[in-house]
Chain A
């Protein structure tokens, strides 16, 4: 990968080899530390309660209890199945909705002439200056007066409109080749037809990158779901876990199984969609 003179020139010397060994050793140690928390989830999730709380902590549990998994979903005091369902609905709808709405807005701003487009764009950029988390009190005021507390609507809808995502799409569409759309015009398509039949199909990589990073944020969101999910029926996975972490006591092994279940969808995303995820991080991080 690296063909800089440094790597080429020194890679075969003794000093270079020592450097490589040192580098891999350091990274190996770091990798073990980074993976350790994941191991702890699995270890405690499959251990008996006694193994988790034993004063003599051991790296491997004395016995494995796969029944912990079924126990979690049969425990009526832990609404895990419901919470997973809520999280799935909220994250999927929010991802699809946010990408659809902000990509259209971004396209309109980048491509469709309008006298006051600059004013609209300025208003959107102004919202980027205000960190989203600070607005949770004001947004709660509006959402509660709509009567949306403890509803899926309240969880989903305020998160559909991201000025930042619209901004990213606008920047992307500005660099989209105009020739493709002009060809579509010649074929008699309007803006709407050109957008859906030419622009979107040719931008799927970018849509996937933004979509994956939006999904990640939606699934892991905590503050807003905590504020809105005041009723157990509207808890997302994160709120459900938190309620056991900060309040009522529950069996520790069940809680660790719940944690494993909660991160499973995102682990799948990391394994199968990592290319888009890395692109999404680079896009949203650098330009943010």
Chain B
């Protein structure tokens, strides 16, 4: 902050003494980036906000103004509301499990004396896979609903009948595939964040706890480690939630087939994709949906900032 303010104070003298002007240099550095940001972020947002008030089927330069009716349609559309509840279910599964597993792995790995780098690498390695590749393995090998699927083979050893993992809405076994896939792929990423957080805890705190007779294990974790990880935990929770909100890749690749996408298990972005870019090319409703989703995530972000006081330490 101080760095940015300093130049502002010597702006005036520099003008008076006819020193070098710095704004041309500023634009040489910032200009190219800013032009791109305006063209590919600000223009789309404004254009989309405009489209959301028009009837824009198959066109991006519509002429029929429809007011708020796209918004009313979206907010009363059961499919759109269904997509929000699909996200809620998904988040309720994936966020707590990811935080718990990432934290558990980080705690275990952090205190290793040897093979620490090996285990860290192994748990982080799935992040090299795209969601598409992971979906390929999950769909065609592990959670294949027929006998040659790995999960059904293992269940068969225990005498359990074959489970149609992805093709049936009731019971919704597809959640098992969706949640385990994302957990596998991203948990190492969050483990790295927790490991970085653990590294920042001063050793003196543990020494003090030891001197004070804190029992190692639960007590130390409860009163030293976990409170010290509070900032990291909040950051991981929020990153996780925002990522789950934007889930698309694994849903699309696991659920869609040559027969199309099933009517269930459609999170918000999948719904938006089919509305705006599917056969309908309905940019009016698609834009209204995008605006609503952006507002929802904005509200969540602001709420968390209020609740946790920005939750993160500046470092």
Spell out A's residues near B (CB within 8 Å).
1-7, 9-10, 23-24, 26-27, 30-31, 34-35, 37-38, 40-41, 44, 52-55, 57, 101-102, 104-105, 107-115, 117-118, 120, 123-124, 127, 129-145, 157-158, 160-161, 163, 166, 174, 190-192, 195, 216, 219-220, 222-223, 226-227, 238, 241-242, 245-249, 252, 255-256, 259, 262-263, 266-267, 269-270, 274, 278, 281-282, 285-288
Asked whether, in the complex, the Cβ of A137 is within 8 Å of the Cβ of B286, the reply is yes
B window 1-52: CB within 8 A of A: 3-4, 7-8, 10-11, 22-23, 25-30, 32-34, 36-37, 39-45, 47-48, 51
Complex: chain A residue closest to B122, CB-CB:
A31
Spell out B's residues near A (CB within 8 Å).
3-4, 7-8, 10-11, 22-23, 25-30, 32-34, 36-37, 39-45, 47-48, 51, 60-61, 105, 108-113, 115-116, 119, 121-142, 147-150, 153, 184, 188-190, 192-193, 196, 203, 206-207, 209-210, 216, 220, 232, 235-236, 239, 242, 245-246, 248-249, 252-253, 256-258, 269, 272-273, 276-277, 283, 286-287, 289-290, 293-294, 297-298, 301, 312, 315
Complex: chain B residue closest to A249, CB-CB:
B258
Taking A34-B126, A104-B29, A227-B277 as contacts, is the C-beta distance between A1 and B112 under 8 angstroms?
yes
Question: Within the assembled complex, what's the spacing in Å between the Cα atoms of A16 and B136?
Answer: 42
Asked whether, in the complex, the Cβ of B45 is within 8 Å of the Cβ of A245, the reply is no
Asked whether, in the complex, the Cβ of A4 is within 8 Å of the Cβ of B203, the reply is yes
- CB contacts (< 8 Å) of A112 on chain B: these are 7, 22, 25-26, 29
Asked whether, in the complex, the Cβ of B3 is within 8 Å of the Cβ of A174, the reply is yes
- CB contacts (< 8 Å) of B116 on chain A: these are 1
B57 to chain A, nearest CB (A): 13
- CB contacts (< 8 Å) of B206 on chain A: these are 4-6
- CB contacts (< 8 Å) of A220 on chain B: these are 129-132
6 smallest A-B Cβ distances: which pairs?
A: A113-B7, A108-B29, A138-B48, A138-B44, A5-B210, A161-B36
Question: Within the assembled complex, what's the spacing in Å between the Cα atoms of A171 and B139?
Answer: 42
Asked whether, in the complex, the Cβ of B48 is within 8 Å of the Cβ of A137, the reply is yes
Asked whether, in the complex, the Cβ of B312 is within 8 Å of the Cβ of A238, the reply is no
B202 to chain A, nearest CB (A): 10
Asked whether, in the complex, the Cβ of B113 is within 8 Å of the Cβ of A141, the reply is no
Of the candidates A117, A145, A190, A246, the one whose C-beta lies within 8 Å of that of B252 is A246
Most chain A CB within 10 A, of B30, B61, B190, is at B30
- CB contacts (< 8 Å) of B150 on chain A: these are 40, 57
Asked whether, in the complex, the Cβ of B276 is within 8 Å of the Cβ of A34, the reply is no
Asked whether, in the complex, the Cβ of B109 is within 8 Å of the Cβ of A242, the reply is no
Asked whether, in the complex, the Cβ of A115 is within 8 Å of the Cβ of B23, the reply is yes
- CB contacts (< 8 Å) of B119 on chain A: these are 27, 31
Complex: chain B residue closest to A129, CB-CB:
B298
Asked whether, in the complex, the Cβ of B60 is within 8 Å of the Cβ of A144, the reply is yes
Interface residue SS majority, chain A: helix
Can you name 27 A-B pairs with beta carbons within 8 Å? A3-B203, A5-B206, A6-B210, A27-B108, A35-B125, A40-B150, A41-B137, A57-B148, A57-B149, A113-B11, A114-B26, A115-B11, A118-B4, A123-B34, A124-B34, A130-B45, A130-B297, A133-B246, A138-B47, A138-B48, A140-B277, A141-B51, A241-B133, A246-B257, A269-B128, A270-B125, A285-B239
- CB contacts (< 8 Å) of B190 on chain A: these are 285
